[in-house]
């Protein structure tokens, strides 16, 4: 039988290896930024075009490379970080596997320029699909500039799997966040299609968080600081009231390396136990410093997962440190809920002797006396003069028919019809379900899911037909979002305008609107925007995703009546009638049942 095992050609082996390292443009961004940091750079610039599909370029002012090193850097398993297997357990750098540049060069066009500080001239290399097209001497500044063009040009099937530009850009921004937060001492800037998205100067950790996610982040942060022999913890957690529906702002850094750890994340959730609303997740930005020999970071190609020698102890220390900080800064509740901390005696006064205050009272003082009281002569009852000339109304025969009483304002309702004239065909159960009778029994409707379905189909029709009525605001509304969140509005700007919004400003961090849909209350705009951002980040729509559909779902989920709200008869009937007028009355926006039918035979069986 003939031999069937063959050695793969180098370019094929490189393409296969690239599949592990380069999954999308953000993977290239991560590798190039980490190489710039390892080079000792103080300033790093990132340039992106078309969400990285066309061009990704990183320019740094690091130590650069010699001619030989520049050529060897594109060979597989070529690295300056380790010399032996033992070095894997004392790593202090980002890249060490020696496959990043080789993998990137196998599936893209790469242009490298680099120069060391003491050299007069540098080196320029051009590579296409692992093939070196050109290497020459060139004039360039100190450091390294590497441009990656036409990603996956020779693997079209892989390129077709990339998502829309908006989605890929969000992944790039995620990677950028992870790198810049881990190294606040380095200057970073990021440009997308010539638009400056980030310009971060060297600063402390708190400032880096605020400048990355927006000024409003500052008030949300609670400092965490704990130093033990095994582990040093520093950083911040978010206050419980600012918890989000998504896990977007959760960052662990171990020895300045971003990691993902469900185990450690659970310790944070445990520290917030009893402080969070259901389905809410706290923000945290935590730096963990441990002995490099006590962790293994070579267990995953992306190096975002690590193994600790003593995970249970790390878990306990982290949970205790976060819980202590929440209590220390009066974020966690205390046992005595009636105590007012503002009335507590300051520590420096608790040991002081307390003297009884002396109060002097003049027993002859009369506030109604026209002259000063004489201690020898009692004051006249001057107060009686106040009532002189006033007729007694005790025997007045008025029956109070003219008296008007101020009444409490009635709660607003979607309808203003007279409820007393209504014939009740529906009933509300537990302020959650609407019960309506039918010939074969009865229908039990989830009021929240039903209203979501009604609003969704109505908003989708308005957005699609582009004929929404809008209301002009007397004073424009301004909102500040992180750069990543602002990109959501850039992507959905056209659909938002069709739905009735008018934008006066839409920059990378500021959103100002002067008009909103007529069906939307001004007080609900912030709620709709926050829901929209959560929906986009959680669903991560691909290139087949309909932004109009997502927008309609966001409006519906934000504005639908909630379970627990009492509905009058008219509102109940409106929900029932409108639901069964929908195109899809049976399923909610999350593909769950909106109503259940209970047959009369099923009811009768309960009495047998």
Are 168 and 93 in a shared domain? yes
- Which pLDDT score, from 0 to 100, does residue 100 have? 81
pLDDT tier, 335 (very low <50, low <70, confident <90, very high otherwise): very low
At 323 the three-state DSSP class reads helix
Helix (H, G, I), strand (E, B) or coil at 383: helix
Q: Are residues 554 and 586 in the same domain?
A: yes
Residues 582 and 434 in one domain: yes
Query: Does residue 178 share a domain with residue 66?
Result: yes
Tell me the CATH number at 257: 3.30.230.10
Tell me how crowded residue 33 is: count the other CB atoms within 10 A of its CB. Answer: 25
pLDDT, residue 411, reads 46
Give the span between the Cα atoms of 516 and 504, in whole angstroms.
12
Please indicate, yes or no, if residue 373 is contained in any of the structural domains.
Answer: no
Residue with tokens 């627990």: 564
- Asked if 289 contacts 300 with a C-beta cutoff of 8 angstroms, the reply is no
Per-residue pLDDT tens for 240-286?
Answer: 988 887 787 899 999 998 988 888 999 999 999 888 887 888 999 99
- Mean per-residue pLDDT for 160-175? 89
pLDDT classification of 78: cutoffs 50, 70, 90: low
The pLDDT-based confidence of 330 (bands split at 50, 70, 90) is low
The closest alpha carbon to 460, from 427, 499, 409, 421, belongs to 499
Domain stops at, among 277, 311, 328: 328
Closest CA to 506 of 485, 531, 527: 485
- Which residues are CB-neighbours of 229 under 8 A, at least 6 positions away? none
412 within some domain: no
DSSP per residue, 407-438: -PPPPP-S--S-GGG----EEEETTTEEEEEE
Predicted confidence band of residue 81 (pLDDT cuts 50, 70, 90): low
Helix axes 547-559, 525-539, angle to 10 degrees: 130
Contact 77, 17 (CB under 8 A): no
Asked whether residue 334 is domain-assigned, the answer is no
Q: Is the dihedral of CA 262, 88, 111, 199 positive or negative?
A: positive
CA 597 to chain centre: 39
Same-domain pairing of 156 and 246: no
Instruction: Please check whether residue 384 lies inside any domain of the structure.
Output: no
Contact 594, 585 (CB under 8 A): yes
Candidates 151, 191, 139; CA nearest to 22 is 151
Q: C-alpha angle with apex 535: 530 to 536, nearest 5 degrees?
A: 100
Same domain, 109 and 48: yes
| Mean pLDDT in residue range 52-65 | 94
3-state secondary structure 446-515: EHHHHHHHHHHHHHHHHHHHCCCCEEEEEEEEEEECCHHHHHHHHHHHHHHHHCCCEEEEECCCEEEEEE
- CATH number of the domain within which 100 lies: 3.30.565.10
pLDDT band at residue 482, thresholds of 50, 70 and 90? confident
Quick one: tokens of 510? Answer: 């500021």
- Using only the alpha carbons of the chain, give its radius of gyration: 34
Question: Is there a domain that residue 363 lies in?
Answer: no
The better pLDDT of the pair 550, 339 is held by: 550
Query: Is 191 in the same domain as 322?
Result: no
d(CA 273, CA 323): 9
| DSSP structural state of residue 300 | S
Least confident of 93-97, 354-358, 498-502: 93-97
Range with the poorest average pLDDT among 75-84, 148-157, 317-326? 75-84
Task: Give the DSSP H/E element, type plus range, for residue 100.
Answer: helix 100-106
Q: Higher-confidence residue: 194 or 410?
A: 194
Residue 90: per-residue pLDDT: 54
Q: Compute how many other C-beta atoms are within 10 angstroms of the C-beta atom of residue 355.
A: 6
Give the range of the structural domain holding residue 321, as residue numbers without chain letter.
213-328
For the chain, what is the mean pLDDT? 81
Question: CA-to-CA distance for 592 and 588, rounded, in angstroms?
Answer: 5
What's the CA gap between 251 and 178, in Å, rounded? Answer: 8
E strand or H helix that includes residue 577:
helix 569-579
By DSSP bridging, strand 187-192 and strand 195-200 are antiparallel
Domain membership of residue 116 (yes or no) is: yes
Q: Give which of 212, 160, 166, 205 is closest to 189, Cα–Cα.
A: 212
Q: Compare 488 and 31 and report the one with higher pLDDT.
A: 31
Cα(517)–Cα(525) distance, integer angstroms: 10
164 and 222 assigned to the same domain: no
pLDDT range class, residue 462, cuts 50, 70, 90: confident
Where a domain ends, among 160, 179, 200? 200
**pLDDT value at position 443?**
92
* Nearest-angstrom CA–CA distance, 295 and 311: 10
Q: Domain check: are 73 and 219 in the same one?
A: no
What does the pLDDT read at residue 124? Answer: 95
- pLDDT of 603 above 60: yes
CATH number at 490 reads 3.30.1370.100
Q: Residue 146: which region, alpha, beta or left (left: phi > 0; alpha: psi -120 to 50)?
A: beta
Residue 30: partners with Cβ closer than 8 Å, 6 or more residues away: 175, 178, 179, 302
- Please state, in angstroms and rounded to a whole number, the distance separating the CA atoms of residues 142 and 145: 9
Q: Is residue 98 part of a domain?
A: yes
Evaluate whether residue 111 is within a structural domain. Answer: yes
Question: Which tokens go with 214?
Answer: 């927006």
Q: Are strands 284-289 and 250-254 parallel, antiparallel or unpaired?
A: parallel
Q: What pLDDT, on the 0 to 100 scale, is given for residue 336?
A: 46
**Strand 143-149 to 232-238 pairing:** unpaired
Answer yes or no: do 175 and 317 share one domain.
no
What letter does residue 144 receive in the DSSP assignment?
Answer: E
Torsion sign (Cα): 340, 343, 347, 352: negative
Tell me how many domains the chain contains. 3
What pLDDT, on a 0 to 100 scale, did the predictor assign at position 352? 66
Mean of pLDDT values over 341-356: 61
Q: Supply the pTM of this predicted model.
A: 0.69
Torsion of CA 336, 340, 341, 347, to 10 degrees: -90
pLDDT at 337 over 50: no
Q: Per residue in 220-243, pLDDT tens?
A: 999 999 999 889 999 999 999 888
The domain boundary residue, chosen from 200, 225, 249: 200
Cα 294 to Cα 287: distance, rounded to the nearest angstrom: 16
* 121 in the same domain as 257: no
Q: Are residues 313 and 461 in the same domain?
A: no
Q: How far is CA 345 from CA 333, 354, 561, in A?
A: 20, 12, 47
In tens, the pLDDT along 521-530 reads 888 888 888 8
């Amino acid at each position: 039988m003939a031999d069937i095992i063959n050695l793969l050609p180098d370019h094929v082996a490189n393409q296969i290896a690239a599949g592990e390292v380069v999954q999308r443009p953000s993977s290239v961004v991560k590798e190039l930024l980490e190489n710039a940091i390892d080079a000792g750079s103080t300033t790093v610039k990132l340039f992106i075009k078309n969400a990285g599909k066309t061009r990704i370029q990183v320019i740094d002012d690091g130590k650069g490379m010699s001619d030989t090193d520049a050529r060897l850097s594109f060979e597989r398993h070529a690295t300056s970080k380790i010399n032996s297997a033992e070095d894997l357990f004392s790593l202090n750098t980002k890249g060490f596997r020696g496959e990043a540049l080789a993998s990137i060069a196998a599936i893209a066009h790469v242009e490298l320029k680099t120069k060391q500080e003491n050299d007069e001239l540098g080196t320029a290399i051009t590579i296409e699909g692992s093939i070196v097209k050109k290497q020459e001497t060139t004039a360039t500044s100190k450091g390294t500039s590497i441009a990656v063009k036409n990603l996956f040009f020779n693997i079209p099937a892989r390129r077709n799997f990339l998502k829309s530009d908006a989605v890929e850009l969000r992944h790039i921004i995620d990677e950028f966040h992870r790198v810049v937060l881990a190294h606040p001492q380095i200057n970073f800037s990021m440009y997308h299609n010539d638009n400056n998205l980030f310009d971060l100067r060297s600063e402390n950790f708190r400032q880096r968080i605020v400048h990355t996610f927006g000024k409003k982040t500052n008030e949300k942060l609670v400092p965490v600081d704990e130093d033990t022999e095994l582990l040093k913890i520093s950083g911040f957690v978010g206050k419980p009231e600012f918890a989000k529906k998504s896990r977007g702002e959760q960052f662990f850094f171990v020895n300045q390396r971003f990691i993902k750890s469900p185990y450690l994340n659970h310790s944070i959730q445990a520290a917030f136990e009893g402080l969070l609303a259901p389905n809410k997740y706290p923000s945290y930005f935590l730096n963990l410093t441990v002995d490099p020999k006590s962790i293994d970071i070579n267990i995953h190609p992306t190096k975002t997962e690590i193994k600790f020698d003593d995970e249970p102890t790390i878990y306990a220390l982290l949970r205790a440190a976060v819980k202590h900080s929440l209590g220390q800064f009066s974020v966690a509740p205390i046992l005595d809920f009636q105590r007012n901390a503002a009335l507590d005696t300051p520590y420096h006064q608790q040991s002081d002797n307390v003297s009884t205050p002396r109060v002097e009272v003049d027993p002859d003082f009369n506030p109604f006396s026209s002259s000063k009281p004489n201690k020898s002569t009692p004051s006249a009852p001057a107060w009686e003069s106040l009532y002189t000339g006033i007729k007694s109304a005790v025997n007045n025969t008025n029956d109070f028919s003219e008296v008007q009483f101020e009444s409490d304002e009635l709660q607003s309702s979607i309808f203003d019809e007279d409820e007393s004239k209504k014939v009740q065909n529906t009933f509300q159960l537990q302020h959650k379900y609407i019960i309506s009778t039918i010939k074969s029994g009865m229908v039990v409707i989830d009021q929240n899911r039903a209203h979501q379905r009604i609003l969704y189909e109505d908003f989708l029709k308005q957005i699609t037909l582009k004929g929404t009525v809008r209301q002009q605001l007397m004073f424009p509304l301004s909102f500040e979002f992180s750069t990543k969140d602002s990109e959501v509005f850039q992507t959905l700007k056209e659909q938002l305008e069709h739905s009735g919004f008018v934008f006066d400003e839409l920059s990378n961090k500021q959103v100002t609107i002067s008009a909103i849909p007529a069906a939307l209350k001004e007080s609900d705009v912030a709620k709709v925007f926050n829901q929209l951002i959560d929906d986009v980040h959680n669903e991560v729509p691909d290139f087949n995703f309909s932004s109009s559909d997502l927008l309609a779902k966001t409006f519906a989920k934000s504005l639908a009546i909630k379970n627990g709200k009492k509905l009058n008869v008219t509102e109940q009937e409106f929900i029932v009638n409108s639901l069964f007028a929908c195109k899809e009355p049976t399923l909610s926006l999350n593909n769950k049942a909106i109503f259940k039918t209970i047959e009369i035979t099923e009811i009768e069986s309960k009495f047998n």
